[in-house]
Amino acid sequence: MPSGANPVLSGAARPLIDRYGRRISYLRVSVTDRCDFRCVYCMSEHMTFLPKKDVLSFEEIDTIVNAFVARGVRKVRLTGGEPLVRRDIMELVEKIGGHIGHGLEELTLTTNGSQLRRYAEGLVQSGVKRLNVSLDTLDEQRFAEITRRGRIADVLDGIDAAADAGLKIKINMVAMRGVNEDEIEPMLHWAHGRGFGLTLIEGMPLGEVGIDRVDTYLPLKEMRERLKAKYTLEPSGHRTGGPARYDYVAETNGLVGFITPMSHNFCESCNRVRLTATGQLYMCLGQDDMVDLRAAIREGGPDALDVALDRAMLLKPKGHDFVLDRDHTAPALSRHMSVTGG
């Protein structure tokens, strides 16, 4: 049993339930706001990153995760920035992986894939069984333009390493009009041909970035109709704990998911909260309401942390209200996606 774990889990007795009756079972943990890429829809060219002194220690993250598991959270996803660029990250993965079977059912990861060759085997050994890889294009030049930094060869090599290690892989692709919409079908065939899932994601108005969000916004309802005209899409009951809704594609024998925060939000079934690298708990990606868990554990310990979780449930909003059109071109929130966690 991991250090600090409660031998008698109280999640069933005191679950985290918000004002709208939604039970929180999924915690996303950003371990760093830093990334080795600068994707145009996620970050600005010149980012100011957090001072290291403000970032939660691994011990603090593990304490917070343990508190959530004791209150009924069953899935934890590590995010960033890019989680695998944080120094000694496997120490944290091993700590949290130790909770699996002691209340935690699954530990997953979202990554840009650049470091997977180095870490894939260790992730498997720590209990990670599947991960999401962000990949918006298979074209080398376009990849360099979208990421501003990355080499697609490193990512594809990392994906190979993860697959060889036995990790189940889902590709996350932000669909952008005039940028990569022509690659959605090729990506579908590539991903399904390798046994990977594919999830398409609508761009969200978070932070000042490097693209015109209005011009590049591609409603996934429109994209789904395009696919439906060419492929046999059968609605699937497959769920991974997140907001994606899936179709089975008969011709490629794989699943395609749609995450639609702009065209059709999924707030009524939201089971998630997000912890930033500095310990701020955001109850909604699209709102500014937050509770400072770093202050709670540093000033009051486990009891104060438990009280803070109760307060978070009272503050969790009914949903977000993203608007994106020519009358609303400014970001809905000033913070970048990399700050809250992808």
Q: Is 134 annotated as a binding residue?
A: yes
Q: Is 228 annotated as a binding residue?
A: no
Alpha-carbon distance 175 to 181, whole Å? Answer: 6
Q: Is 25 annotated as a binding residue?
A: no
Q: Is 168 annotated as a binding residue?
A: no
Alpha-carbon distance 204 to 324, whole Å? Answer: 9
Q: Is 204 annotated as a binding residue?
A: yes
Q: Is 35 annotated as a binding residue?
A: yes
Alpha-carbon distance 70 to 300, whole Å? Answer: 18
Q: Is 126 annotated as a binding residue?
A: no
Q: Is 81 annotated as a binding residue?
A: yes
* SS3 assignment, position 11: coil
Q: Is 148 annotated as a binding residue?
A: no
Q: How many CB atoms lie within 10 A of CB 122?
A: 15
Reported residue count of the chain is 342
Q: Is 113 annotated as a binding residue?
A: no
Alpha-carbon distance 150 to 218, whole Å? Answer: 24
| Tokens linked to 67 | 């508190």
Q: Is 267 annotated as a binding residue?
A: yes
Q: Is 42 annotated as a binding residue?
A: yes
Structural contact between residues 170 and 199, judged by C-beta atoms closer than 8 angstroms: yes
CA distances from 162 to 39, 81, 82, 157 (A): 22, 19, 16, 9
Quickly list DSSP for 137-205: -S-HHHHHHHHSS--HHHHHHHHHHHHHTT-EEEEEEEEBTTTTGGGHHHHHHHHHHTT-EEEEEE---
Structural contact between residues 336 and 209, judged by C-beta atoms closer than 8 angstroms: yes
Alpha-carbon distance 293 to 283, whole Å? Answer: 12
Q: Is 39 annotated as a binding residue?
A: yes
| Tokens linked to 321 | 């209200």
Instruction: Provide the annotated binding site for S-adenosyl-L-methionine.
Output: 41, 81, 134, 204
Instruction: Provide the annotated binding site for [4Fe-4S] cluster.
Output: 35, 39, 42, 267, 270, 284
Instruction: Provide the annotated binding site.
Output: 28, 35, 39, 41-42, 77, 81, 110, 134, 170, 204, 267, 270, 272-274, 284
Instruction: Provide the annotated binding site for GTP.
Output: 28, 77, 110, 170, 272-274
